[in-house]
Structure 1
Amino acid sequence: MACSLIVGLGRSGVGAARLLHAQGHQVVVLERDNGPEQQSKAQQLSDQGIQTELGCPLEFSSFQPWLDQVEQVVISPGIPWDHPTLMQLRNHGVTVRGEMAVAWQALRDCPWIGITGTNGKTTVTHLLHHVLNQAGLHAPMAGNVGHSAAELGLQCMDPSQTKPDWIVMEMSSYQIESANEVRPTIGIWTTLTPDHLERHGSMAAYRDIKQGLLQRSKHAVLNADDTDLKSRQAHWPDAQWVSSAQTNHEPFNLELWVNPEGFVCNKKGALFPANALAMPGEHNRQNMLLVTAAALQAGLEPQAIERGLRSFPGVPHRLENLGSLHGMNVFNDSKATNYDAAAVALQAVPGPIILLAGGLSKQGDASGWLQLLQGKVCSIALFGSDRDVLSGLIRGSGYTGDLTSHSTMTDAVTAAIEQGKNRNAASLLLSPACASFDQYRDFEARGNHFREMIKQYSHSPSTRAN
Structure 2
Amino acid sequence: MGRSGIGAARLLQSLGERVVLLERRATEELERQATDLGRQGIHVLLNQGLDADAILALGPDLKRVVVSPGIRWDHPVFETLRARGITVQGEVEPAWHASRPVPWIGITGTNGKTTVTHLVHHLLQSAGRDAAMAGNVGRSAAETVLERRHDDQGLPDWLVVELSSYQIEACEAVAPRVGIWTTLTPDHLERHGTLDHYRSIKRRLLERSAVRVLNADDPDLSSRATSWDRALWVTAGPWRELAPGIAPALWIEAGRVWHAQGDDRCDLMAADALAMPGSHNRQNMLLAVAAGLEAGLDGPSMEAALRRFPGVPHRLEHIRTWQQVRFFNDSKATNYDAAEVALKALDGPLVVLAGGQAKIGEVQPWVRALRHSARAVVLFGDAQKTFRGLLREHGYNGRTETCGGLEQAVPLAAQLACELGCSAVLLSPACASFDQYPDFEARGEHFRQLVEKL
**What TM-score results when the alignment is normalised by the length of structure 1?**
0.95
Q: Name the CA distance, whole Å, in 2 between partners of 1:124 and 1:108.
A: 23
1:299 to 271, 283, 296: 296
Residues 5-404 of structure 1 aligned to structure 2 (within 5 Å): 9-246=1-238, 247-249=240-242, 251=244, 252-259=246-253, 261-267=254-260, 268-404=265-401
- SS of equivalent to 2:197: helix
Superposition RMSD on alpha carbons, in Å?
1.1
Q: Name the CA distance, whole Å, in 2 between partners of 1:132 and 1:350.
A: 32
Query: Which residue does the alignment assign to 1:438?
Result: 435
The amino acid across from 1:199 in the alignment is: R
Q: Give a deviation string over 1:194-243, Cα, whole Å, max 9, x none.
A: 00000100000000000000000000000000000000001223100000
Q: Name the CA distance, whole Å, in 1 between partners of 2:155 and 2:13.
A: 21
Preserved contact between residue 380 and residue 402 of structure 1 (Cα < 8 Å): yes
Displacement of 1:66: 1.4
Preserved contact between residue 326 and residue 420 of structure 1 (Cα < 8 Å): no
The amino acid across from 1:342 in the alignment is: A
Query: Which residue does the alignment assign to 1:448?
Result: 445
- SS of equivalent to 2:63: strand
The amino acid across from 1:443 in the alignment is: F
Displacement of 1:161: 2.2
Gaps of 5+ in 2: none
Q: Name the CA distance, whole Å, in 2 between partners of 1:329 and 1:245.
A: 29
Preserved contact between residue 249 and residue 257 of structure 1 (Cα < 8 Å): no
Q: Give a deviation string over 1:343-383, Cα, whole Å, max 9, x none.
A: 00000111000000000010010111010111110001000
Preserved contact between residue 145 and residue 155 of structure 2 (Cα < 8 Å): no
Q: Name the CA distance, whole Å, in 1 between partners of 2:96 and 2:228.
A: 25
- SS of equivalent to 1:413: helix
The amino acid across from 2:250 in the alignment is: L
**What TM-score results when the alignment is normalised by the length of structure 2?**
0.97
Query: Which residue does the alignment assign to 1:413?
Result: 410
- SS of equivalent to 1:264: strand
The amino acid across from 2:139 in the alignment is: H
Q: Give a deviation string over 1:75-105, Cα, whole Å, max 9, x none.
A: 1111110111111111222111110011111
Identity %: 51
Preserved contact between residue 280 and residue 349 of structure 1 (Cα < 8 Å): yes
Displacement of 1:308: 1.2
The amino acid across from 2:248 in the alignment is: L
Give the number of aligned pairs: 448
Displacement of 1:37: 2.0
The amino acid across from 1:427 in the alignment is: A
